[in-house]
Structure 1
């Protein structure tokens, strides 16, 4: 491994000797690695050793320099890893105290890349539909028609006389799909057929009400049916007021929607759908054009999720329990299939935010790229290296790789130029994620178990409002748990920042007193199973908890609680065991040897399926964390005496269930006399009695 560090023209303090000791590698502190000392980088590129460069500003320059260096290893054979030490602390007021953090960031940069996962493929031939006023749609089309096959869907406006593009019009009914596979449905109701219209403008001139615009559509609310337009259009025959409405459907690879109110309103729009209202800025306009021009060909993205239907708490017996993933998905990629006892995730619509995996109580949905194990390894490397280097009270700052990274960079630059901004504190370790919503309570608690004092989550306008709500709910659960174990202070904080104008708010928000953490950092690895990771983190946090003695149980907020108890009303419950069949986590169990309902509290995810399934409304939930070791063991929460068959004496049900059945059916004409007595028999004796016709002999019970 070769690591190159640079103090950026001596603008930040780098302790090369200390970093060398911490990383076990001799390091040279360069001053202008991207300029005068570039030969040092070129020499490193000729080696097959893995290469880490502590500079992200000149990432493109270094990549080009590597390609131009004779004898350099190709980037596809040995990629270069870049890490930011400058904006993440080197330019802050505490830059001289940030050596331990810098060592942690360099150590994390050395980790291997995430394991590859299956990909999702998009294929676009460049067929573009532009929806909006005809004049604006034509102007936009002219900027991309050299690479895209453009069709216009007119919603008014005045088009040019020249027929350059096919034009559609009508009532737009539905747009669904994604890049390369958009299905557009509309109903043509207008008397003018655009495919026949020659745009001679004779109808426009002839209409006494001015009901025909240069989009060549008739405003039927203004038209008074003089039919002058029909007479002047006799030769082309494009106008027919008797034409029946016709619904059409066509496919497009891309959709550009110029209307103020878009057809798709989800927070995360599908790949290939762009919304560019009239009020959009020039930068947004240019960005949209660039995206459209680049959207021809074959594209791949990771399949970000994994789904295990067998442990999904969404539905059982056509009852919906947990709906968390469906409700939170900002891309409308998750739909209910309760008849199949599961949900469905459309991988082409999924944008990889991971919010569904964060709110999933069972771990049925898990984040696949990067995997939980990879994220856990990064966490443990950052925190363990920081601690070994002498760092104290580590605070993890989770942010997205896109907008969040830009905010952190702006923060670091502001600290260099603005005396009122202190910059990233020495104890705050930034960690970039694909999306901040992809990491939740299991990872946060693992971070505290690894020795972190706090976890800050930086959210920007990238995050949908529902993401923010879900993260706040998870933080409330985590804080209640840690406070109950005696870990004082504020451990979790959500920091909302829109853009660089909120840097001052971010600068103040992270300056909070360190919270209590474990006396001995954990060594467990984050597991693929979310529940397993939570169990490992809890065991370590309980073992080192400051509270003595520990409370019997810790109450948790109902929203987002992943643990809890189930209470059964014994007066109402008939032990029908419908709840056992509905429970996706195996928390509710029967006892084959006795009429009992048993409960394993560790397994309960508080999904509520048992509550919705119970025909007697006898079940209630209590969100809590029970700290007794017995939470792992089945305990009886209801039991009843058995009802014995009146013919053979074999128990075949519970006394309450059979008595309830007899009470309901005793007045029915079908269950009188011997038929009613047969209800008191087991299934075998009932069949025998029917076929033998013998009188029922009631045995002593």
Structure 2
């Protein structure tokens, strides 16, 4: 690689020495470095294991060791000589502290494996896993092997749910032949005059004429009983291998511990990989709890009225469900796969990504962009990709560029690995543009759920509309699709030309854990530096901010919308009948429109740029209605008139009762008791 240690050192404010054979004859330099107290960054991930072992074997080694790949990400590229700013940025980001520990989710597996599918195929898989795992087979039948080595259950599966270490199988035994007792002697097959029993040892009850010759033929084994009623069974397993054509879980992200191999894929490398993974899943395992949830910010429901379902609709693992009675959503941490899509579509920030936390991810992006600019780089492009398949494509592309088979990652494209590409959204992207990113690209490799890509496109449309409205020319966001390194190479060559305008003064703010606060910081900086400053920018329907329109002819100022608003955007006025809006707080969840009994509310997605955005604005007001007895205001004229119009024909509200609707609560009680006393005097 054509590395320039002086240029890199200047950008990092350090004196650097270039080692070209550090993993072999220059290893002593590494050992000397790890004896110090400062962090050691090794700019090579291929020999991570070697350096890790070498560090452990070095006496007095105390320095933390971190690794970063600068070879495939830019050192091996046709632009390698111009890539020093990017490499400096990658080195600087590698020196940042590791993400803080977060709560974990624990799985415990004793190795109880359920194999579902054709008996012969199921027995083959059980044979190669049975020395490690406790295997049970569930099959509708099949010839199978002569030697019965594993328990076989049969019947109709009613339900299969759960996750690694806690799968629950419910089934009913509805076939006259008990496969666990069956010896597969085939006597029943030969005895059946209708041929209603096949080699799958299932009785076709439509063809059976009740001769019961099979029962007599199976007298010794006693495996056939037509009088046996379907029996419900339930059992727990730690792992599931499903060999049927149709999987038990149709969701895009099945639970951990569940593996689906349809018959056409049950051989070869994929089958071998599945068996290896199954054998490894015995013991206790942990994963980060990827999300944090703040119920009081949630716009899902109020008063059992549903407003926002964004997180429920997008979750590909079906880990999020509604709990309207508690005005919140529930997340099953055992099913959560950590994609983070729920956090990016959440308009309020009630759901946030926890590993890494928003501030840690923001600090990484800010460091990359600031170091790149300080090193003389121009028009940086952030390439957000997954840390598995996306990372593999980037590395494969770099190796191809090394031998001239590809162009490699362009000098101004900075790859950033994420646990999942759906884990960042509009607030992170706009913050990146405010801090100098000329473009933010998200790489989809085919492993993402379709709804994730739809959500990413929708958010990119909103973010692009904001920047276009502020006068920032060019395209700032794109969703790339690449199934392999060749397609990625072509996409990146087109990407290098997609450069949007950025603020003249870079934003120095930090991404916070509060999504709305980060959005406000980014928007305020972008608006302050904008070439255009309209009063408002119209936005697509997916926008997490906007206006509320009230039909004043319908609105009675009942203020039920104020009680439903989760963001304190809608407010009342304690001094007089008014409905007010702080537009900057509105998340466009729709709870107000759902709650409004008069259907007087309409949402208007937009970004207001005037100072009024953060100030209460009156949407509707009315004259107060004074009690006809004491004169104290207790409602609005329109509300009282609407109430009287609706109740005038009711049998309970006639005469004096209807007149009491014009009184405040106190006077209404006094009037009722006064009327009661007068009636008693009349009776006397």
What is the CA-CA distance between 1:208 and the residue it aligns to? Answer: 3.1
40, 43, 46: which one pairs with 2:32?
43
Match of 1:553 in 2: 536
Q: Distance in 1 between matches of 2:605 and 2:12?
A: 45
585, 592, 598: which one pairs with 1:610?
592
Instruction: Report matched runs for 1:56-75 at 5 Å.
Output: 56-67=45-56, 69-71=57-59, 73=61
Gapped runs of 5+ residues in structure 2?
Answer: 679-684
Match of 1:268 in 2: 253
Contact kept? 1:42, 1:72, Cα under 8 Å: no
Contact kept? 1:394, 1:451, Cα under 8 Å: yes
Q: Distance in 1 between matches of 2:571 and 2:181?
A: 70
What is the CA-CA distance between 1:215 and the residue it aligns to? Answer: 4.0
Contact kept? 2:38, 2:64, Cα under 8 Å: no
Q: Which moved more, 1:509-518 or 1:43-52?
A: 43-52
Match of 1:381 in 2: 367
What is the CA-CA distance between 1:632 and the residue it aligns to? Answer: 0.6
Q: Distance in 1 between matches of 2:589 and 2:488?
A: 39
What is the CA-CA distance between 1:446 and the residue it aligns to? Answer: 0.5
300, 311, 320: which one pairs with 2:286?
300
Q: Distance in 1 between matches of 2:332 and 2:512?
A: 25
Match of 2:3 in 1: 14
Q: Distance in 2 between matches of 1:165 and 1:416?
A: 52
- Rate the CA distance shift 1:622–1:45 in 2: closer, same or farther, 3 A: same
Match of 1:660 in 2: 642
Q: Which moved more, 1:53-62 or 1:478-487?
A: 53-62
Match of 2:179 in 1: 194
What is the CA-CA distance between 1:60 and the residue it aligns to? Answer: 2.2
Partner secondary structure for residue 128 of structure 2 = coil
Partner secondary structure for residue 549 of structure 2 = strand
Match of 1:405 in 2: 391
Residues 195-231 of structure 1: per-residue CA shift (max 9 Å, x gap): 3334433223322344334443323344333211101
Contact kept? 1:66, 1:72, Cα under 8 Å: no
251, 268, 281: which one pairs with 1:282?
268
Large movers: runs of 4+ above 6 Å: none
- Under a length normalisation based on structure 1, what TM-score does the superposition of the two structures give? 0.94
Q: Distance in 2 between matches of 1:460 and 1:220?
A: 48
Q: Distance in 1 between matches of 2:37 and 2:153?
A: 57
Q: Distance in 2 between matches of 1:333 and 1:529?
A: 23
Q: Distance in 1 between matches of 2:194 and 2:15?
A: 85
Partner secondary structure for residue 616 of structure 1 = coil
Contact kept? 2:167, 2:237, Cα under 8 Å: yes
Contact kept? 2:578, 2:621, Cα under 8 Å: yes
Contact kept? 2:154, 2:178, Cα under 8 Å: no
Residue 586 of structure 1 pairs with residue 575 of structure 2 = no
Q: Distance in 2 between matches of 1:219 and 1:58?
A: 61
157, 160, 163: which one pairs with 1:178?
163
Q: Distance in 2 between matches of 1:543 and 1:511?
A: 27
Partner secondary structure for residue 143 of structure 1 = helix
Match of 2:312 in 1: 326
- Under a length normalisation based on structure 2, what TM-score does the superposition of the two structures give? 0.96
Match of 1:624 in 2: 606
Partner secondary structure for residue 667 of structure 2 = helix
Contact kept? 1:564, 1:624, Cα under 8 Å: yes
Residue 250 of structure 1 pairs with residue 235 of structure 2 = yes
What is the CA-CA distance between 1:240 and the residue it aligns to? Answer: 1.1
Q: Which moved more, 1:212-221 or 1:25-34?
A: 212-221
Q: Distance in 2 between matches of 1:234 and 1:661?
A: 80
Q: Distance in 1 between matches of 2:353 and 2:454?
A: 20
Partner secondary structure for residue 343 of structure 1 = strand
Residues 154-173 of structure 1: per-residue CA shift (max 9 Å, x gap): 13432112110110111112
273, 284, 295: which one pairs with 1:309?
295
103, 106, 114: which one pairs with 2:99?
114
Q: Distance in 1 between matches of 2:237 and 2:402?
A: 49
Contact kept? 2:382, 2:440, Cα under 8 Å: yes
Computed over aligned residues only, the root mean square deviation of the Cα atoms, in angstroms, reads: 1.6
326, 340, 361: which one pairs with 1:354?
340
Instruction: Report matched runs for 1:357-436 at 5 Å.
Output: 357-419=343-405, 421-436=406-421
Gapped runs of 5+ residues in structure 1?
Answer: 1-11, 697-701
Q: Distance in 2 between matches of 1:387 and 1:674?
A: 79
Contact kept? 1:274, 1:288, Cα under 8 Å: yes
Q: Which moved more, 1:511-520 or 1:466-475?
A: 511-520
Contact kept? 1:457, 1:495, Cα under 8 Å: yes
What is the CA-CA distance between 1:501 and the residue it aligns to? Answer: 4.4
What is the CA-CA distance between 1:360 and the residue it aligns to? Answer: 0.2
Match of 1:157 in 2: 142
Contact kept? 2:476, 2:498, Cα under 8 Å: no
Q: Which moved more, 1:211-220 or 1:483-492?
A: 211-220
Q: Distance in 1 between matches of 2:632 and 2:159?
A: 62
Q: Distance in 2 between matches of 1:440 and 1:665?
A: 50
- Rate the CA distance shift 1:70–1:311 in 2: closer, same or farther, 3 A: closer
What is the CA-CA distance between 1:423 and the residue it aligns to? Answer: 1.4
Contact kept? 2:36, 2:63, Cα under 8 Å: no
- Rate the CA distance shift 1:485–1:16 in 2: closer, same or farther, 3 A: same
Q: How many residue pairs align between the two structures?
A: 677
Q: Distance in 2 between matches of 1:546 and 1:334?
A: 42
Residue 532 of structure 1 pairs with residue 503 of structure 2 = no
Residues 604-659 of structure 1: per-residue CA shift (max 9 Å, x gap): 00011111111111000100000011111111100111111000001111101111
Q: Distance in 1 between matches of 2:628 and 2:589?
A: 40
Q: Distance in 2 between matches of 1:324 and 1:172?
A: 32
What is the CA-CA distance between 1:62 and the residue it aligns to? Answer: 2.2
Residue 229 of structure 1 pairs with residue 217 of structure 2 = no
Q: Distance in 1 between matches of 2:178 and 2:486?
A: 52
Q: Distance in 2 between matches of 1:79 and 1:404?
A: 27
